[in-house]
Every structure is written in structure tokens, then in C-alpha cells.
Chains A and B, each alone.
Chain A
Amino acid sequence: MSDVGYIAAAWSATAAVLAAYVVRVAVRTRHARRSLPDDDPRR
């Protein structure tokens, strides 16, 4: 693998980790919000 390959791998790994984490948190937040009753102040 050339330098370009390693750099591309590093950048895409970072993007993938960040995106996966954001999506996971967003999905769980959405799920938790939906499950809470309407009168909950935290909703």
C-alpha cells in the first residue's frame, strides 16, 4: 500500500467512527424520546 492508501484509510476510518457514533447516539436518543410519556419535561 502506498502513502496515499494509508492516508485514505486513516481519513475514512475517522469519518466512519465519527459517523457511526453520531448515528448510534441519534438513534438511541430518538428511541428513548418516543418511549417517554408526553408530559415528561425531558422529552
Chain B
Amino acid sequence: MTAAKPPDNGHRRGVASLPTNPRLLPRRVSVVLGWSTLAALALLTLFGLWGAPPDAVQGDAQRIMYLHVPAAWLAYLAFTVTSVASLLYLWPRTRSTVWDLLAGASAELGVVFTGLTLLLGSLWGRPVWGIWWAWDARLTTTAVLFFLYLGYLSLRRIPASVETRAKRCAIAALIAFVDVPVVHLSVNWWRTLHQQATVFNPELNPRIHGVMAFTLWLGVVAFTLVYVYLLDRRYQLAVLEEDLEERELDAAIAQRVAEAPSPRPAGVHS
């Protein structure tokens, strides 16, 4: 072992443990996906604003549903992926940096879209219910979900050894996920101002008219594409930044080693 090589004691990941290919999808697929996402969103706008008829009771304001419901779906999807990735990280046989970074990337998307869901819901609630916000079970649990994963994202940014951070984050993500089914089922368990699920209701019988149902499904498909595209981009960024950080650390350690009078560095790692 040469003095220039930092001791590998598991506190650092090392560039070598990072995936060589920072992309989840091949470059070409990602480009095609990006354009299809845009097209799907444009089609959704077309159908959402003009194609679908206004609702008999709620009128035009109901069109916000075509964004609100898909955004909520995306948030559920993102947190589910985070939990699966966290579980795979914690399971010793599948432990890999990939899962940790994927969980983080997905959780960030989840937080962004939970926030968007709350915002869109508020914009829907004002004309339809008459209020911006109600402290009913669905809204409250969704707000709690937002803050749970906001906490998770701060936990990801803490200065600590990489292994410790990844493990703690994975456990935190799994604990936070408990709230996701609570959010979805809250409208069935409790009497809320928020309406019950239209499509994924307990009877599995969508109570929605043809073109409106089509537009809603279009929204779900479009937002799923948004999710896959953004997850690929965000994951790539996570790998690159992790790589950069490791290299900067390596450089700093090498510099310290060069400065040190003794060939064996002591306490270069935290």
C-alpha cells in the first residue's frame, strides 16, 4: 500500500463504486423520450383545455383536475420508487450506490410534484369549494407528506460519511413512506371535504365520462413520461456530482499527504 493512496475504510464511496454509465436510459432513448413527453404534454393541454367538456357541476374549473391528479400520481410513483430503491440499498445482497442515488433523485421529484399537487389543488379548491385550503384529512396528510420528504432531502445533504448517510436516508425514506397509503386512502377512511378517488376507487369503477376519462388517463401517461425523463436526468446529475465530490476529496487528501512529513497519514478521513 503506497502512502499516496487513501485508506479505504468504507467511509467513502470512491469513484470506482459509482456506475460507469451515469444514464438510466441510453442517450438516444432519453432524447426521444424528452420529445414524446413534450408532445404528450401538448396533447394533454389540447384535450384538457378544449377537447374535454366542462363538468356539469363544477364547470370549467374542473379542468385543473387534468393536472392535479396526474401530479399527485407522479408524487406517489416517485415515493414508491424511492422506497423500493431504499429497500434494495438496505438489503445486503443488493447494496449499491446506484440505489442510494436513485432513491435521492426520485424523492426530489416526489417533493417537487407533491408541492405542485398542493398548489394545483389550492387553485382548484378556491373556485370549486370556495376556499384555498381546508384542514381536512387528505390535505393535511399531503402537507405532512411534503414535509416528511423535505426532511429526507435535508438528511441527504448532511455532511457525514457516505455509508452512514445512505443508510440513514434509506431508513428515513421507508419510515416516511408509511404516509403515502394514508394520503391515498384518507378520503375513504375519513369524512373529508376532498372528494373520493374517481379512478382508483375501492370499487375499481371509474365514475367519469368518456372524453374526460380519456383526458385524465392522458394526463397520467404524460406525467409518467415526465417522471421517467426527469428521473433519468436527475440521476445522471446525482452520479456526476457524486463523482466530482469524490475527486475533489481525493485531490484534497493527496494534497494533505504530500504536505505531511510522515508517509502514513493519520486522521485524513473523518
Listed in ascending order, the chain A residues whose CB lies under 8 Å from chain B are: 1, 3-4, 6-7, 9-11, 13-14, 17-18, 21-22, 25-26, 28-29, 32-33, 35-37, 40-42
Contacts and interface: CB of A to CB of B under 8 A. Distances in A.
A13 B115 CA distance: 11
A35 B246 CA distance: 12
B72 to A, nearest CB: 12
B60 interface: yes
Q: Secondary structure at chain B's binding surface: helix, strand, loop or mixed?
A: helix
Contacts of A26: 233
A25 B34 CA distance: 14
Contacts, number: 81
Contacts of A36: 240, 243-244, 247
B64 A10 contact: yes
Nearest to B65: A10
A14 B67 contact: yes
Given A21-B112, A42-B18, A32 B241 contact: yes
Contacts of B243: 32, 36, 40, 42
A15 B244 CA distance: 31
B237 A32 contact: yes
B63 A7 contact: yes
B71 interface: yes
Contacts of A32: 237, 240-241, 243-244
Contact of B226 (A18, A40, A42): A18
19 contacts: A3-B59, A3-B60, A6-B64, A6-B127, A7-B60, A9-B123, A10-B123, A11-B45, A14-B67, A14-B71, A17-B115, A21-B230, A22-B230, A28-B237, A29-B240, A33-B240, A35-B244, A36-B243, A40-B243
